[in-house]
Amino acid sequence: MSSDLNLLPSQAKFRAKRMRLRAKITNFLWIFVGVWISVVILVMGIFLILNLVASQTNKNYQKDLNQYKVLLGSMSVNQKVKYQAKVVGKVLESRFKYGDVIEQINNLFYIEVNMDNMEIKSKNDFVINGSMVNGENMDSVEETVGEINQGLVDGFESAKLNAVKFDPKFGWSFVVEVMTK
């Protein structure tokens, strides 16, 4: 029974309870403030880490974007060069085709026949002005025109002898129009 006996006055009991309660509140506040500060530090740390990661990612993005822009510019130049090469190739192809046709026309007549002028009327239509001293070679020109019209000469579709003229000083002259295939 002596343990249940309290000899302190009631005011002292109330003060002792208040002091214990104050100690518990102080301890609770210290724990609460400690947890709060820990949470704030943790949130600030996470924020700083995320900010650092975002900054690093942004730097990598900017670097990749700059490389992309450089590659895009070079790809554009590359495409322009390819297009220009294609255009030049088409032009050269048509020039070589004309070169082949002109060579065929030059080899059309005998050596004694002189080709004075050649005019390109259209893509496959050529007018040839020629001359020769000997009238016998005029027969070979007429034979060649006939062979072209019969389809015996490769590369030519038709031929037409437009004019024949004889001048005692210069000899024979003629105008032939040929169509190539």
In order along the chain (181 residues), what is the average pLDDT of each group of 10 residues? Answer: 60 82 93 96 96 95 91 82 84 73 81 83 87 78 90 90 87 90 81
Contact 163, 174 (CB under 8 A): yes
What are the structure tokens assigned to 33, written together? 């403030």
- The amino acid occupying position 132 is M
pLDDT of residue 70: 85
pTM of the predicted structure, to 2 decimals? 0.49
pLDDT of residue 120: 84
Nearest one of 136, 133, 134, 144 to 176, comparing CA atoms: 144
CA distance 80 to 92: 18
pLDDT of residue 96: 62
pLDDT of residue 116: 85
Virtual torsion, Cα 22, 27, 29, 35, nearest 10 deg:
-170
**What single DSSP character describes residue 97?**
H
pLDDT of residue 8: 59
Which of the listed CATH numbers 1.10.3470, 3.30.1360, 3.40.50, 3.40.30 matches domain 108-180? 3.30.1360
